[in-house]
């Protein structure tokens, strides 16, 4: 049987060859290798990018007028490409002074002209995230007048109303506030697209890193900008590899072939944390989980009943069981790390208290209620947990599970009793959530304010709406924060929203990787402070 | 009636059959894509876009035109070699395909070669030693190969050979520091590294491809060995085999020269089909091993209704099938003296 003998020989040869390949080396000291899911990136243009992995990229490649310091996020926005700004008496015009001596990756100096161009460009292109700027009254038609060059290093923006300076500046820290290199971008303009199709796959920034290559759903490679104005980053190369499987990320991390794993599931976190070479970070993210009661319902609009429901969620129990490592108890509408966020947790599961409240309201024997929930595992589990705790006071809850579209359309048309939902902020300013959780001026069906969660729940709040709108205009950052704190405390007491959880994200890193900041709820990851 | 040489007529027939197949394929894919309940605009602009932004993107994608008009424009573009721009990667689809297809070709080729080299002898031996222990083992090997889910066996393989033993490279086509170090000529790293003469990259690529290709090989081995076995059994019961044995030929010559010689013809078709199905790309294998191949590319595109990418990928896969079929036909003629 010659063939068999040859086969065996061949197989042995292959096996020997494989064993002889050099042992796997660790990642080099000047290189940061990250495993992440990056298949949500569809564009690298800061005027268009609106996904998580895209924000991670932009934060490291594009300087902004103001930005968050990764090592001190709670300090709020700090000067970045703008060193200072002044606000006009009517509170509508902000004049920025640019930082001298900063250069784009191309070598061109960063000037006010680039800042004006970048903001006008974002408004004129009017891509998905453009609303973050156009909410201040900028439009393609008025951009030339409202965003104006004053001299080489000075420019001003004029909003349509008086807004809190912190509101405008917070919005400028989001991806769309990235300042692009006008000369380079315009040199690559095609058919009046302001360089959009070129910038989708290229970079023209002044940040800590520049783009080497983006291979969709494969890898994103950045190289350090040695002339970065805060000093050359220690990690000379950053490679983000698209690894979609959590188990695969864990294997790579344990072998030391990657430095950071961004998408470990709770089981793999538990497994990987056993190794002394691996550290697990938990970071807060912006997403909130809540359930809400339709105030158009006769029983559910009774304030005592509303209060009873707030004592009928097993917050701790859910956090420590099926939501472990993914969500933490949070009971206010601003995610922690946002300006004005509070950490008060006045509610816990308290069946006796809920029972007493229901009895006072005249529903001591309970009632029937329907919960609508989207077909997603964690939401269904939350709804089932609620179903159990409701049953303890005689509230018989049925679940209606639907697709995202079905439940959302019921929610938007106010055709539901109890809704289990999630909410993610759109931009890093408290108004992004306040404007939806705490504003509802016209509660009529005809108003169709479907963008506002308060309206969807039929919750009429003329007073709180006024307070929220006043907070949008308060110029002083600290006073403004205090206003949001007060609104949230009132909201906790009276609103038909039972805020339950804030998302946390667990990141596995080799323990020699230091100063990696994922960006919490308000911003994205920063690579430049990282050391190994 | 003017007469053409038969060779031109035959070529013409082949080209025509390719064209008809491709247009039919595109037609079906295009319309399935358009009736799917996925909104391509949303994958461009995201969930929270304003109505204006949405409408602008809707128009830019040409979705306001009637379906047949859209299909017509699409065919015109394809005829000019323009597959459009992928919504997901913001690049021309042709560029994307040049990037992803060689990765799949590399994997499928290595897999098929191993599958054939091991599968054919296994099938032959199983047929010759019918119902012996070796046949039973071959049967179990094949059944296990058919029925084990790839995501499971892939992860376990990674855990053992990469995680614990450290014999092979992890997911991906190369270790991270070798990436982009050699110029891409064919897009197949095994070939490119040989062209560049860089043996350390070659061996690194081998250590990365070993497991995923081994898995694909296992599946094609299972199929090929089963088919070889049944073809061989059929041949071995023929009279000419008995004649050959009576003439005093050695058993070796009877089995490997006479019987296998006649099995070659149907076997070529089986191998070609199995190769073609690997060239479609295997979504699960590609996901687990972070292998940027065409299977994953088409699937991701399909789930976001990125129709240019889906159709471009379909054209490539369709062409592969048609070409392999033609190749199998040609080999058929080569192996079968009667067809010459």
Q: Tell which wins on pLDDT, A307 or B166.
A: A307
pLDDT at A14 over 90: no
CB B252 within 8 A of CB A3: no
Nearest residue of B to residue A28, measured between CA atoms: B177
CB B299 within 8 A of CB A244: no
pLDDT in tens, A400-417: 998 877 888 899 999 999
pLDDT in tens, A197-206: 999 999 999 9
pLDDT in tens, A146-166: 999 999 999 999 999 999 999
Give chain A positions within 8 Å (CB) of B44.
42
Task: Measure in Å the smallest separation between the Cα of B26 and chain A Cα atoms.
Answer: 25
How confident is the model over A373-398, as a mean pLDDT?
93
DSSP one-letter code for A188 = T
How confident is the model over B178-184, as a mean pLDDT?
80
CB A420 within 8 A of CB A382: yes
pLDDT in tens, B241-258: 888 888 888 888 888 888
d(CA A74, CA A63): 20
pLDDT band at residue B52, thresholds of 50, 70 and 90? Answer: confident
pLDDT at B48 over 70: no
pLDDT band at residue A16, thresholds of 50, 70 and 90? Answer: very low
Tell me what ipTM this predicted complex has.
Answer: 0.79
Helix and strand element counts for chain A (H, E): 19, 17
Task: Measure in Å the smallest separation between the Cα of B202 and chain A Cα atoms.
Answer: 11
pLDDT in tens, B197-220: 888 899 999 999 999 999 999 988
Residue B214: predicted pLDDT: 92
User: Taking CB atoms and an 8 Å limit, are B155 and A19 in contact across chains?
Assistant: no
Residue A283: predicted pLDDT: 92
User: Which of A10, A131, A257 comes nearest B170 by C-beta?
Assistant: A257
pLDDT in tens, A359-377: 999 999 999 999 999 888 8
Task: Measure in Å the smallest separation between the Cα of A253 and chain B Cα atoms.
Answer: 10
Chains A, B: CB pairs < 8 Å: 130
In this structure, of A102-106, A113-117, A118-122, A446-450, the range with the lowest mean pLDDT score is A446-450
Chosen from B52, B87, B88, B90 to mutate, greatest number of chain A CBs within 10 A: B90
* A243 in contact with B, Cβ within 8 Å: yes
Residue B39: predicted pLDDT: 75
Q: Is B183 exposed, middle or buried (0-12, 13-18, 19+ CB in 10 A)?
A: exposed
In this structure, of A15-24, A371-380, A503-512, B193-202, the range with the lowest mean pLDDT score is A15-24
B11: part of which helix (H) or strand (E)?
helix B6-35
pLDDT band at residue B47, thresholds of 50, 70 and 90? Answer: low
pLDDT band at residue B311, thresholds of 50, 70 and 90? Answer: confident
pLDDT at A15 over 60: no
User: Taking CB atoms and an 8 Å limit, are A18 and B210 in contact across chains?
Assistant: yes
pLDDT band at residue B340, thresholds of 50, 70 and 90? Answer: low
pLDDT in tens, B267-283: 888 998 889 888 887 88
Q: Which residues pair with A261 in a beta bridge?
A: A35, A508
pLDDT in tens, A331-355: 999 999 999 999 999 999 999 999 9
* A253 in contact with B, Cβ within 8 Å: no
Residue A144: predicted pLDDT: 94
pLDDT in tens, B54-65: 888 888 777 888
In this structure, of A175-189, A420-434, B79-93, the range with the lowest mean pLDDT score is B79-93
Q: Which two tokens stand for residue B328?
A: 């199998």
Q: Is A112 exposed, middle or buried (0-12, 13-18, 19+ CB in 10 A)?
A: buried
User: Taking CB atoms and an 8 Å limit, are A18 and B46 in contact across chains?
Assistant: no
User: Which of B48, B53, B159 comes nearest A426 by C-beta?
Assistant: B48
**Residues 6 or more apart whose Cβ sits within 8 Å of residue A296:** A414, A458
pLDDT at A194 over 80: yes
Residue B21: Cβ within 10 Å count: 15
User: Taking CB atoms and an 8 Å limit, are B177 and A27 in contact across chains?
Assistant: yes
Task: Measure in Å the smallest separation between the Cα of B37 and chain A Cα atoms.
Answer: 11
Task: Measure in Å the smallest separation between the Cα of A247 and chain B Cα atoms.
Answer: 8
How confident is the model over A269-290, as a mean pLDDT?
93
Rounded to 10 degrees, the C-alpha dihedral A261/A262/A268/A272 comes to 40
pLDDT in tens, B142-179: 888 878 888 888 889 998 999 888 888 888 888 877 87
Give chain A positions within 8 Å (CB) of B290.
218, 241-244, 248
Give chain B positions within 8 Å (CB) of A1.
125
**Residues 6 or more apart whose Cβ sits within 8 Å of residue A211:** A44, A57, A61, A202, A203, A220, A221, A222
**pTM summary value:** 0.84
Q: Which one, of B165, B269, B290, B275, lies nearest residue B227 by Cα?
A: B269
Residue B2: predicted pLDDT: 59
Q: Which two tokens stand for residue A361?
A: 């309201």
Angle formed at CA A301 by CA A295 and CA A303, multiple of 5 degrees: 135
pLDDT at B182 over 70: yes
Nearest residue of B to residue A218, measured between CA atoms: B292
- At residue B190, what are phi and psi to the nearest 5 degrees? -60, -40
Residue B181: Cβ within 10 Å count: 13
A385: part of which helix (H) or strand (E)?
helix A377-391
Nearest residue of B to residue A246, measured between CA atoms: B288
Tokens 């906790």 -> residue: A492
Task: Measure in Å the smallest separation between the Cα of B30 and chain A Cα atoms.
Answer: 22
């Amino acid at each position: 049987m010659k063939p068999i003998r040859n086969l065996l020989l061949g197989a042995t040869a292959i096996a020997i060859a494989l064993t002889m390949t050099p042992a796997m080396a660790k990642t080099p000291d000047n290189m940061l290798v990250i495993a992440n899911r990056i298949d949500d990136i569809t564009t690298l243009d800061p005027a268009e990018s609106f996904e998580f992995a895209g924000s991670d990229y932009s934060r490291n490649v594009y300087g902004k007028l103001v930005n968050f310091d990764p090592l001190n996020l709670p300090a709020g926005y700090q000067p970045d490409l703008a060193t200072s700004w002044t606000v006009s008496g009517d509170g509508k015009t902000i004049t920025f002074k640019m930082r001298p001596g900063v250069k784009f990756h191309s070598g061109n100096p960063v000037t006010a002209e680039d800042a004006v161009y970048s903001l006008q460009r974002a408004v004129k292109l009017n891509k998905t995230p453009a609303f973050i700027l156009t909410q201040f009254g900028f439009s393609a038609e008025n951009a030339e007048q409202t965003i104006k060059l004053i001299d080489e290093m000075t420019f001003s923006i004029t909003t349509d109303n008086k807004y809190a300076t912190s509101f405008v500046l917070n919005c400028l820290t989001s991806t769309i506030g990235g300042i692009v290199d006008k000369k380079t971008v315009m040199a690559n303009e095609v058919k009046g697209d302001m360089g959009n199709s070129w910038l989708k796959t290229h970079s023209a920034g002044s940040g800590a890193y520049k783009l080497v290559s983006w291979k969709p759903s494969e890898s994103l490679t950045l190289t350090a900008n040695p002339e970065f104005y805060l000093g050359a980053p220690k990690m000379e190369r950053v490679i983000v590899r698209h690894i979609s499987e959590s188990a695969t990320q864990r294997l790579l991390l344990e072998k030391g072939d990657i430095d950071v794993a961004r998408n470990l599931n709770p089981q793999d976190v538990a497994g990987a944390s056993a190794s002394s070479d691996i550290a697990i970070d938990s970071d807060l993210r912006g997403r909130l989980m809540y359930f809400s009661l339709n105030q158009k319902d006769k029983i559910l609009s009774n304030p005592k009943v509303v209060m009873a429901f707030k004592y009928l969620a097993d917050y701790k129990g859910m956090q420590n069981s099926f939501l472990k490592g993914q969500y933490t108890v949070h009971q206010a509408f601003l995610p922690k790390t946002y300006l004005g966020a509070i950490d008060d947790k006045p509610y816990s599961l308290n069946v006796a208290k809920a029972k007493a409240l229901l009895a006072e309201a005249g529903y001591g024997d309970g009632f029937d209620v329907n919960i609508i929930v989207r077909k997603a595992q964690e939401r269904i589990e939350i709804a089932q947990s609620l179903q159990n705790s409701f049953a303890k006071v005689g509230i018989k809850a049925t679940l209606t599970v639907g697709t995202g579209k079905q439940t959302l359309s019921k929610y938007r048309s106010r055709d539901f009793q109890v809704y289990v939902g999630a909410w993610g902020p759109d931009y890093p300013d408290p108004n992004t959530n306040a404007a939806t959780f705490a504003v509802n001026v016209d509660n009529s069906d005809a108003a169709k304010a479907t963008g506002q969660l308060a309206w969807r729940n039929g919750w009429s709040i003329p007073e709180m709406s006024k307070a929220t709108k006043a907070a949008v205009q308060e110029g002083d950052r600290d006073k403004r924060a205090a206003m949001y704190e007060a609104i949230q405390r009132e909201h906790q007491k009276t609103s038909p929203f039972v805020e339950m959880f804030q998302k946390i994200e667990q990141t596995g890193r080799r323990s020699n990787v230091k100063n990696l900041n994922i960006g919490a709820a308000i911003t994205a990851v920063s690579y430049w402070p990282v050391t190994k | 009636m003017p007469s053409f040489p038969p060779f031109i007529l035959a070529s013409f027939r082949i080209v025509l059959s390719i064209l008809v197949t491709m247009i039919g394929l595109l037609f079906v894919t295009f319309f399935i894509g358009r009736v799917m309940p996925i909104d391509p605009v949303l994958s461009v602009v995201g969930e929270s876009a304003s109505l204006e932004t949405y409408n602008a993107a809707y128009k830019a994608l040409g979705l306001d035109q009637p379906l047949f008009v859209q299909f017509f424009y699409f065919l015109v573009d394809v005829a000019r070699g323009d597959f459009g721009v992928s919504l997901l990667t913001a690049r021309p689809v042709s560029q994307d395909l040049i990037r992803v297809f060689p990765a799949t070709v590399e994997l499928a080729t290595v897999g098929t070669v191993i599958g054939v080299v091991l599968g054919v002898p296994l099938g032959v031996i199983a047929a010759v030693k019918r119902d012996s222990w070796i046949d039973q083992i071959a049967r179990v090997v094949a059944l296990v190969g058919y029925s084990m889910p790839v995501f499971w066996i892939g992860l376990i393989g990674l855990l053992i050979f990469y995680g614990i033993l450290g014999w092979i490279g992890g997911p991906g086509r190369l270790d991270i520091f070798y990436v982009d170090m050699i110029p891409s000529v064919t897009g197949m790293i095994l070939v490119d590294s040989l062209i560049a003469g860089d043996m350390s990259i070659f061996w690194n690529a081998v250590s990365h491809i070993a497991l995923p290709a081994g898995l694909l090989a296992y599946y094609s081995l299972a199929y090929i060995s089963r088919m070889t076995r049944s073809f061989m059994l059929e041949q071995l019961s023929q009279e000419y085999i008995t004649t050959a044995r009576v003439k005093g030929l050695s058993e070796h010559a009877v089995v490997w020269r006479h019987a296998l010689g006649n099995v070659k013809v149907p076997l070529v078709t089986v191998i070609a089909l199995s190769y073609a199905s690997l060239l479609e790309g295997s979504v699960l294998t590609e996901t687990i091993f972070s292998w940027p191949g065409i299977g994953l590319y088409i699937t991701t595109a399909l789930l976001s209704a990125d129709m240019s990418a889906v159709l471009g990928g379909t054209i490539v896969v369709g062409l592969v099938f048609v070409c392999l079929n033609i190749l199998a036909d040609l080999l058929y003629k080569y192996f079968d003296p009667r067809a010459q």
